[in-house]
Amino acid sequence: MRFATATAVTAVVCLLLATSAPAEINTTHLDSDTELLDYLSDTLFVAEGRIGDLGQAATFELDLGYSTGAPAATEQYDWQNGAGEPFSVQYDSSTGMVTFTLGGKTLHYVTDYSDFDAIFIRGRAVDAETMVSVTDIDIDGEAVDESVMAAGSANSLDILLMYGAILSDGFILNGTAALSWTGTPPTHSRLAFQVKVARSAIVDSEDSSWGAVKSIYR
């Protein structure tokens, strides 16, 4: 009887250890915003680096907030053609604070939502002879063996979906972004990358109270 009890206790402990182990990061590439919408339930916040007007005063190059259409924080940044720029997006679950850093610039945004399970990295290059890349991606120090690269041709897109990791407890995503162009640089969001933290439609979710998909791209 004691042996049976000990065996049962051991089995329960093993089960708890197995279920509490960190989930593996799964990845897949998407080719269009239509396909992105099929995977996405709601966007909670977005960090963006875009060509803008290369650090001039008319518009911004970095932004962070609930959507790119109306960001909560913006910064100027003078992109150097083809130069890789390390960046990070950090979420603190205890405060809801999101921090986006790139090129010595730091943006902050506080979100009330924590029910997310996916990260989309979206690269967009509209014009010919332009390219955006995001490489050296890791989440909490765990390397993600994928990259994002969009080369300008008929509104080229490359979207990397990452899911399966425990994100709502807090995370730090790191990467290196580069914008490249030949001749006159494009403007605004015609050359850009975005990190969208979201609730996905991959897992079962019966709560539809958040309504329709929010503004996630432009």
pLDDT recorded at residue 183: 94
* Range of 29-33, 106-110, 160-164, 211-215 with top mean pLDDT: 106-110
What confidence tier does 218 reach under pLDDT thresholds 50, 70, 90? very low
pLDDT one-digit tens code per residue, 175-206: 999 999 999 999 999 999 999 999 887 654 33
Q: Which residue has the higher pLDDT, 169 or 135?
A: 135
Asked whether the predicted pLDDT for residue 1 surpasses 90, the reply is no
Q: Which residue has the higher pLDDT, 143 or 40?
A: 143
> Cα(72)–Cα(45) distance, rounded to whole angstroms?
10
Q: Which residue has the higher pLDDT, 64 or 15?
A: 64
What percentage of the chain exceeds 70 in pLDDT?
A: 81
Mean residue pLDDT of the chain comes to: 83
Asked whether the predicted pLDDT for residue 23 surpasses 70, the reply is no
pLDDT recorded at residue 193: 98
DSSP per-residue codes, the chain: -HHHHHHHHHHHHHHHHHHHSPPPPEEEEE-SHHHHHHHEEEEEEEEEEEEETTT-SSS-SEEEES-SSS-SEEE-----TT--EEEEEEEETTTTEEEEEETTEEEEEE-S-----EEEEEEEE-STTEEEEEEEEEETTEE----EEEESSSSEEEEEEEESS--TT-EEEEEEEEEEESSS---EEEEEEEEEEEEESSS-----TT-S------
Asked whether the predicted pLDDT for residue 210 surpasses 70, the reply is no
pLDDT one-digit tens code per residue, 84-135: 999 999 999 999 999 999 999 999 999 988 888 999 999 999 999 999 999 9
What confidence tier does 41 reach under pLDDT thresholds 50, 70, 90? confident
Structure tokens at 179: 């914008």
What domains appear along the chain, each with residue ranges and CATH number? 24-200 (2.60.120.200)
The mean per-residue pLDDT over the stretch 25-30 comes to 92
pLDDT recorded at residue 154: 65
pLDDT recorded at residue 155: 67
Q: Which residue has the higher pLDDT, 14 or 145?
A: 145
> Cα(132)–Cα(37) distance, rounded to whole angstroms?
22
The mean per-residue pLDDT over the stretch 66-95 comes to 96
pLDDT recorded at residue 40: 81
Are 114 and 200 contacting, i.e. CB atoms less than 8 angstroms apart? no
